[in-house]
Structure 1
Amino acid sequence: MTADATDGLGGRMEGVRHVLTLRIYYEDTDFSGVVYHGSYLRFLDRGRTEILRAIDFDHHELYQARREGFVVRRMTIDYIRPAVMDDIITVTTAAEDVKAASLVLRQTVTRGGETLVAAAVQCAYLRDGRPARMPARMREQMLRTE
């Protein structure tokens, strides 16, 4: 069973941005109780997955039905401040540049309005392992303005 974007598990759209709230668990931290840098990649990936789900696309269904979906081509990430166990963080995701077969997403991880991590993620859209145009409706949803 998959969760839809309105059940509270997948975050919410705020205008053109997707906002996902997460709690930091012990498994996300290193030996000192600070979030391990690699854990942020998982948090950002969840944000990218949920923005797609919020505009009515599902990674798993796209791949199963059409053998297509996004892959990360490049990521620039700035670690600004640490999060620790039991913190409540917010992952915000918004499209910055949308082309026919790729897009750049701006993502931030914040805690109480304080930026912890900032990332720019370039994603390529593939069909059967080759670059392909993303569905027109997906592109339109990513390009929409407030």
Structure 2
Amino acid sequence: MNDPLGGRMDGVRHIMTLRIYYEDTDFSGAVYHASYLRFLERARTEILRAIGFDHRHLYETKREGFVVRRMTIDYLKPARMDDVVAVVTSAESVKAASLVLRQTVVRDGETLVTALAQCAYLRHGRPARMPERMRREMMRTE
């Protein structure tokens, strides 16, 4: 599914583009390190939306959804105000109640940030199996 606001699927990868605004930067005009966490979170939400799942609907109807258990981030090069970057997200591993997503932030083909997000699926605050269709969509191959 392609959504001009939320990005698009490209095979097994989800690509979300965004522009860097003043509010995303520090005093030097480079993206503040914590701003990348927001960009990565948006992209994780949008890959779910692209495969037919909505965080709010899952929580409101079943009290379930993902939480980040662990995240590793490598900051390689800075993005700057007015840059257009893409956040590329793909599943590295998918288990019954967890998944690991590989995410990169790129500008004109140059990798700026790499991250791995280990996410747990919870129902009523407890680990639970994610829906089978969600698992299949996350594991799909080209």
- Measured against the shorter chain, the TM-score band is over 0.9
Which amino acid in structure 1 is aligned with residue 94 of structure 2? V
> How far has the Cα of 1:31 moved from its partner?
1.0
Matching residue of 2:71? 75
Counterpart pick for 1:65 among 43, 61, 66: 61
Aligned partners of 2:108, 2:2: CA distance in 1, in Å? 23
CA-to-partner distance for each residue in 1:87-140, whole Å, 9 max, x for gaps? 000000000000000000000000000000000110000000000000000000
Q: Secondary structure at the match of 1:12?
A: strand
CA-to-partner distance for each residue in 1:25-71, whole Å, 9 max, x for gaps? 00000111110000000000011000000000000000000000000
Aligned partners of 1:143, 1:37: CA distance in 2, in Å? 30
Aligned partners of 1:7, 1:99: CA distance in 2, in Å? 27
Matching residue of 1:143? 139
Contact 2:2 2:9 in 1 (8 A): no
Which amino acid in structure 2 is aligned with residue 96 of structure 1? E
> How far has the Cα of 1:7 moved from its partner?
3.5
Q: CA RMSD in A?
A: 0.7
What are structure 2's unaligned runs of at least 5 residues? none
Match status 1:102 vs 2:98: yes
Aligned partners of 2:45, 2:53: CA distance in 1, in Å? 9
Matching residue of 1:53? 49
**Equivalence map 1:100-139=2 (5 Å):** 100-139=96-135
Matching residue of 1:37? 33
Moved over 4 A (4+): none
Matching residue of 2:88? 92
Which amino acid in structure 1 is aligned with residue 86 of structure 2? T
Matching residue of 1:9? 5
Which amino acid in structure 2 is aligned with residue 95 of structure 1? A
Aligned partners of 1:84, 1:143: CA distance in 2, in Å? 34
What are structure 1's unaligned runs of at least 5 residues? none
Aligned partners of 1:17, 1:83: CA distance in 2, in Å? 22
